[in-house]
């Protein structure tokens, strides 16, 4: 790698060892969860600047519930991508729990933000769908 070049997820996980997952699946999930953390935070911030019918009343959304869903999602996605990045000594019970929590939080955001026509909600909804799918793909590969 060139000195000063940005290190990507693939290089980071290769250097730490991946443990129980195929590297490609793990990279996909970690990248999706990092994007979800960012997009959830951005969507919550955008909604916090909305007033009345501009967001919430007119599009069938409960603004407070949607902001809470976004913040919960950002937290769960952040925890999940950090736990997944720790390498092969990670506890499978913890991995399962954080992946399930991240997928559940993402699903809630799909419902909350999926009703809104706003660009930030549309970006967030797609990010949440992608991350939930990646989390569930990893869950499907875990031993029972």
| Domain count along the chain | 1
The reported pLDDT for the residue numbered 36 is 98
The vertex-64 CA angle with 118 and 72, nearest 5°, equals: 90
Q: For residue 58, tell me if it sits in a domain.
A: yes
Average confidence (pLDDT) over 104-117: 93
CB atoms closer than 10 angstroms to residue 75: 16
- CA 75, 78, 84, 90 torsion-angle sign: negative
pLDDT band at 53, cuts 50/70/90? very low
DSSP summary character for residue 90: -
pLDDT digits (tens, 9 = 90+) for 130-144: 999 999 999 998 887
What is the average pLDDT across 53-65? 61
- Report the half-sphere exposure of 13 (CA within 13 A, side-chain side): 23
Task: Confirm whether 72 is domain-assigned.
Answer: yes
pTM (two decimals): 0.83
Range of the domain at 61: 20-140
12 or 120, which is more confident? Answer: 120
The answer to the question of residue 2 being in a domain is no
Nearest CA to 127 out of 29, 15, 25, 5 is that of 29
pLDDT in tens, 80-103: 999 998 876 678 999 999 999 999
Residue 3 lies in a domain: no
């Amino acid at each position: 790698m060139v000195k000063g070049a940005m290190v990507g997820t693939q290089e980071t996980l290769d250097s730490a060892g991946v443990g129980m997952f195929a590297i490609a699946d793990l990279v996909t999930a970690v990248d999706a969860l990092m994007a979800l953390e960012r997009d959830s935070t951005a969507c919550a911030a955008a909604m916090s600047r909305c007033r009345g019918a501009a967001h919430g009343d007119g599009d069938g959304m409960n603004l407070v519930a949607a902001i809470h869903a976004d913040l919960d999602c950002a937290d769960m996605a952040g925890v999940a991508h950090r736990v997944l990045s720790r390498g092969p000594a990670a506890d499978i019970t913890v991995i399962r729990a954080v992946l399930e929590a991240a997928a559940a939080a993402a699903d809630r955001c799909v419902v909350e933000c999926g009703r809104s026509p706003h660009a930030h909600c549309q970006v967030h909804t797609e990010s949440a769908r992608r991350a939930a799918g990646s989390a569930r793909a990893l869950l499907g590969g875990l031993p029972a």
